[in-house]
Structure 1
Amino acid sequence: MNKLLLLLVTLLFNPFLVAENDPLEEINRVTLKVNKTLDNAVATPVARFYQKITPDIVELGIYNSISNIDDISVSLNNILQGKFKDGFF
């Protein structure tokens, strides 16, 4: 019975599931192409060079520093939710 109901609902609402035209589709495609080109030409080589020349201990220190900065917003969120123990410790 449930399968029949699901089939009927699917058939009834199928005309409403047609994709709409995206007026920004062309701009989005150009933006995606530019982003992929910049990623391949600039970001990926810079990231690989950084990984090659940076010692692991420095990478870990940078990662930990950024992680600590993120912890500030998590702590503040916990305090605002009334989770004081999680916010301070």
Structure 2
Amino acid sequence: MTCRYAPFSSAGGMLGYLFSGQSSQAFKNIEDKVPCTLSHHSDFLNRDHKTSEHQRQVPVGKNYPSYFCCHHLIFHISGNVNSENEALPDI
């Protein structure tokens, strides 16, 4: 990571919109493409929310945080589904 985005922050987020398929496969695809290791966030175990930890390459002379935690959140768009992609009852 190069400090191009959010250089003054030690955390940020990436949102994903899932129109079909399973969130577990989406998270695997993120791990493969970034590449990174995604971990469950202990405060949000029942939500499609994972984190990855990174060490950034801070430019010389900049006082940016080198550690960066990225939150990855998946939002289901294709109707009422949960993280296992099962239909939920309408309320």
TM-score bracket, normalised by the shorter chain, equals under 0.3
**Length-normalised TM-score, structure 1:** 0.19
Higher relative contact order (CA 8 A, sep 6+): 2
Structure 2 length normalisation: TM-score?
A: 0.19
More strand by share: 2
